[in-house]
Structure 1
Amino acid sequence: MKARAQSAAIRCLDIIAAGTGLLLVTPVLVVIGLWIRATSPGPAVFAQTRIGRFERPFTCYKLRTMSFDTVSVATHEVSARSVTPLGRVLRRLKLDELPQLWNVLIGDMSLVGPRPCLPVQQQLLTARRSHAVLSVRPGITGPGQVNGVDMSEPEKLAALDAVWAAEPSVRAYVGYILRTLVGHGQGDRVREA
């Protein structure tokens, strides 16, 4: 399948999966949201500006796993003390990512792609520019995540993500999703303190 057809097929799969997923997990999101509100002050959903395809900023949504007053920096720069007890569970089970299905549905993200970074992560943005990674939609999971490489290693992460950016395919897309579902990768680590 040619690159354009692969990209169109991936976008169709994104829409179907995100739409179906949102219908199925909305009750779960409501319960978790109420639980977050009951155990920690602040909103249940965390909204943050991230860098998307072609370096366009967008608002990324996640379930809040950290104290409401946590400074807005890259996850690997945040102290582990900032993560709430419920947040630790949500992060381990990757449930904090569920609101990003909305980002996938509206086209800001894909299920598979480079993890979206913050505008202040200039070292990572520079590495991604040099590897032509910013031409694809960021993803909920992708090569970096399933291989356990987080944003604290910008060059290594950009090189892994470049493999996907150079030749996205339906086969690789399904492979990354399956590897994520069976527990490969744990996302960005917080700083131990």
Structure 2
Amino acid sequence: MTAAREPLPTGVRGRAAAAPIAPVALPWTLRALDLVVAVTLLVLLSPLMLFLALQIRFTSGSPVLFRQQRTGEGTRTFTLYKFRTMRHGATGPGLTSGCDPRVTATGRLFRRFHLDELPQLANVLRGDMTLVGPRPEPADVARRFPPEYRWMLQHRPGLTGPCQLRSREHAELLNDQPDPEEYYLAVMVPLRAELNAELLSHNSLTTVLRYLARTLWYVLSATWDRSGSGTRSDRPGKAGTRCTEEG
């Protein structure tokens, strides 16, 4: 499977990065759990991932994967992998709003059930990410973080977590914003900081296992939960627009 780079925000240099800060080390028990779960899921889900890759290949061509520079533990930059859900070569903001026209029909389904994030298990295996933690921020967005919230960048980002489990409702906040990144920094980052503070103050093996169970339920609930994907008909010209998650 080949990889493509995620479109960079308009007018942004591709190598922007946050100033280094001291990382908070991940406990060895959580790292051991990361390895066990990541290896197990990569083996068990490999047929599904192959099927998803073929779906992308046959419906929107190559490449199957895209990659984006994200900010990890201590602001170390790493390459995050996802299944491609946007039209190849599409440009625009680095954050994906709920009704983003760049997203393909197959991509909307993948985003709805978070299937596009399965390749991030490789990031967990490599140590770029952990199973449960703060959302991995795009490098340029992290560089512009308000100083009072930069503490979140000390921690290893997670495949899931309290913010990721609110992605459908948070998607609504980005819809129709003239500058999604500025809105994200001013309004959504403080919301995420509150959620992450609660998680990180009780970060333990039990907490991680609880969030993994909640994540499974959250993914399954996408079958009947229409928040973040309902038809928008409250404004002229928006009828019939389908919405997906941000990120």
TM superposition score category, shorter chain reference: 0.7 to 0.9
Which residue does the alignment assign to 2:235? Answer: none
Give the SS at the match of 1:82. coil
How has the CA–CA distance of structure 1 residues 100 and 13 changed in structure 2, closer, same or farther, with 3 Å as cutoff? same
CA shift digits 1:11-53 (9 cap, x unpaired): 1111000011111112221121111011113311111110000
C-alpha contact (below 8 Å) 1:10/1:169 kept by paired residues: yes
Give the distance between the partners of 1:74 and 1:163, measured in 2 at CA.
27
1:146 aligns with 2:181: no
Say if 1:131 and 1:162, in contact at 8 Å, map to a contact too: no
2:113 to 69, 93, 109: 93
Cα displacement (A) at 1:56: 0.4
- The answer for the alignment partner of 2:212 in structure 1 is 177
Show CA shifts across 1:131-157 (max 9, x none): 621222101110112244468311111
Larger CA deviation: 65-74 vs 91-100 = 65-74
Residues 97-155 of structure 1 show CA distances to partners (whole Å, capped at 9, x for unaligned) of 1000000001000111111111121487336x636212221011101122444683111
Unaligned runs of 5+ in 2: 1-23, 172-180, 223-227, 229-243
User: Alignment length, in residue pairs?
Assistant: 187
Residue aligning to 2:122: 102
In terms of fraction of residues, the more helix-rich structure is 1
Give the C-alpha shift of residue 79 in structure 1: 5.0
TM-score normalised by the chain length of structure 1: 0.84
| Equivalent in 28, 32, 48 of residue 52 of structure 2 | 32
Q: CA deviation at 1:10?
A: 1.1
| Structure-1 separation of matches of 2:144 and 2:48 | 33
- The answer for the alignment partner of 1:168 in structure 2 is 203
SS in 1 for 2:101: helix
- Paired letter, 1:171: T
Give the Cα–Cα distance (whole angstroms) in 1 for the partners of residues 144 and 212 of structure 2.
23
Superposition deviation, residue 65 in structure 1? 0.9
Paired residue type of 1:145: Q
Q: Are the equivalent residues in 2 in contact too, given 1:53–1:137 (CA < 8 A)?
A: yes
Q: CA deviation at 1:165?
A: 2.9
Share of identical aligned residues, percent? 37
Taking the aligned partners of 1:92 and 1:159, their CA distance within structure 2 comes to 25
In 1, Cα distance between the equivalents of 2:143 and 2:195? 15
Deviation at 1:73, TM superposition (A): 3.5
> Does the aligned pair in 1 maintain the 2:71–2:142 contact within 8 Å?
no
Q: Distance in 2 between matches of 1:64 and 1:84?
A: 9
8 Å Cα contact 1:63/1:97 also seen in 2: yes
Structure 1: state its 5+ residue gaps.
Answer: none
Q: Matches of residues 52-91 of structure 1 in structure 2 within 5 Å?
A: 52-71=72-91, 73-77=93-97, 80-91=100-111
In 1, Cα distance between the equivalents of 2:80 and 2:74? 16
3-state SS of 2:70 partner: strand
* Pair 1:48 & 2:104 matched: no
